[in-house]
Amino acid sequence: MGSKKKPKSSRSKKKTKASADQALALDYVRAWAHPPPPEPSAAGADADDFLPAQASRGGGGGGGGDVLFELHSHSNHSDGFLSPTALVERAHRNGVKVLALTDHDTMAGIPEAVSAASKFGIRIIPGVEISALHNPREVAGAGEPVHILAYYGMCGPSRSNELDSMLLNIRDGRYLRAKNMLEKLNGLKVSVKWEHVTKIAGEGVAPGRLHVARAMVEAGYVENVRQAFNKYLGDDGPAYARGSEPSAETVVQLISRTGGISALAHPWSLKNPDTIIRSLKDAGLNGMEVYRSDGKVDGFSELAEKYGLLKLGGSDFHGRGEKHESDIGTVRLAITTLCCFLKMARPMWSAAMKDILLKFAEEPSAANLGSMLKFGRANFDVYSPINTGIHVVDFCLSSWSSRDDIEDVELEVVRLKLAHYAVER
């Protein structure tokens, strides 16, 4: 027996096993992310625009093959600078194949992102970053701000009215909060006008701290946004004000009830990450951010392992145009990470999809069809079961470009329930 050879052969076996796992994971992720064929009108126009994927700095150990996911990004529907279309174009230039748009407390940018993405064969994960508070003793005025990311399937959340009303509440609270911050700033002899802040936020966009900070920069009170946060608006700053955020546990529970996968955003900005992660795990948290563009942050990978959470990450791109900002698509998650993410998410997404279809079957109406296809690619106005001969279920599936993992038998139930829809319409 060659004792010298033994370690070598076991090492190479391990290596073979690891690369076999990676190959399987790559197949799985590719099969899911496989882009639908680009629409003919856009295919030629953007061919010259395409640049190869940028080399990644940091991230989850590389090996993402040709499937680059970006799981954290913002558009001008919250405090980002780019429209969803411009964001998708930039993601495409950076080689992103699957993009989660995760605006703060709104999913209003998703339909535009989905339609822009269809030109490039990019897959959009409908997402949202929900503002919450960790408030263990439910003491008014106490509690730490926590951001929870939610990722949904192509059909969006089931029971979407529950999610919508929570998000609306938070957004309403943001108006009040911004006003309170301006009041506090005025008391500190920093007079920023309300009209200035809402103009920066844009029409219909709930103002956030970043919008207030930008108004302060423009009015000349501070040199840059960072200074505005450091001196006034940071969590412990003299002009900080609270909104009406729900508790982080409530948010996590709502996400899982509505068929989404939940992840704690940027845990490195928390004062008590361990306590918060433990109580969120009890509430059903699925994952947490561990990777960011400048690499892994010490200690958080271990925390994710300790609590059995998916290790995720993203650039948190806002399009601020600042030098130190991480570009979209610069966190390259390992293919095995993406595989774990999808394997956990897909059963939830397919359950949500089934739920949505069955609810529609109970109450089939044009209005309900419209709202359930709000993140779909197709315009439901053109759908006519009589003229097209396409069953409404297949129409939905093609609009979502996905049937996730719904079994044929289950779909047949919905089809049967909807058999008379065409006639009634």
Q: Applying CB under 5 A, which residues contact Zn ion? A: 129, 147, 265, 316
**CA atoms of 120 and 93, how far apart (whole Å):** 10
Q: What's the min distance (Å) between Cβ of 96 and Zn ion?
A: 16
**CA atoms of 280 and 307, how far apart (whole Å):** 10
Q: Which C-beta is closer to Zn ion: that of 233 or that of 406?
A: 233
H-type alpha helices, 160-297: 160-187, 194-201, 209-218, 225-228, 248-257, 273-283
Q: What's the min distance (Å) between Cβ of 164 and Zn ion?
A: 20
Token pair 């948290």 is found at: 285
Which residues, 6 or more positions from 128, have their beta carbon under 8 angstroms from its beta carbon?
A: 102, 103, 104, 105, 106, 107, 149, 150, 163, 167
Q: What's the min distance (Å) between Cβ of 317 and Zn ion?
A: 9
Q: What's the min distance (Å) between Cβ of 350 and Zn ion?
A: 27
Q: What's the min distance (Å) between Cβ of 13 and Zn ion?
A: 42
Q: Which C-beta is closer to Zn ion: that of 92 or that of 147?
A: 147
Q: What's the min distance (Å) between Cβ of 315 and Zn ion?
A: 9
Q: What's the min distance (Å) between Cβ of 318 and Zn ion?
A: 7
**Integer angstrom CA distances of residue 134 from 72, 238, 353, 363, 366:** 21, 21, 30, 38, 40
Q: Which C-beta is closer to Zn ion: that of 160 or that of 326?
A: 326
Q: What's the min distance (Å) between Cβ of 328 and Zn ion?
A: 12
Q: What's the min distance (Å) between Cβ of 239 and Zn ion?
A: 19
How many alpha carbons lie under 13 Å from residue 393 in its C-beta half-sphere? 21
Q: Which C-beta is closer to Zn ion: that of 147 or that of 177?
A: 147
Length of the chain: 425
Token pair 């319409």 is found at: 425
* DSSP class of 50: -
Q: Which C-beta is closer to Zn ion: that of 245 or that of 316?
A: 316
Q: Which C-beta is closer to Zn ion: that of 64 or that of 319?
A: 319
Phi, psi (deg, nearest 5) at residue 46: -105, 5
Q: What's the min distance (Å) between Cβ of 147 and Zn ion?
A: 4
Q: Which C-beta is closer to Zn ion: that of 166 or that of 397?
A: 166
* CA-based radius of gyration for the chain: 23
Q: Which C-beta is closer to Zn ion: that of 123 or that of 147?
A: 147
Q: Are the C-beta atoms of residues 136 and 275 closer than 8 Å to each other?
A: yes
Cβ atoms within 10 A of the Cβ of 155, count? 29
**CA atoms of 216 and 347, how far apart (whole Å):** 46
**CA atoms of 229 and 231, how far apart (whole Å):** 6
**CA atoms of 292 and 14, how far apart (whole Å):** 28
The four Cα atoms 343, 123, 131, 84 give a dihedral, to 10 degrees, of 180
Which residues, 6 or more positions from 420, have their beta carbon under 8 angstroms from its beta carbon?
A: none
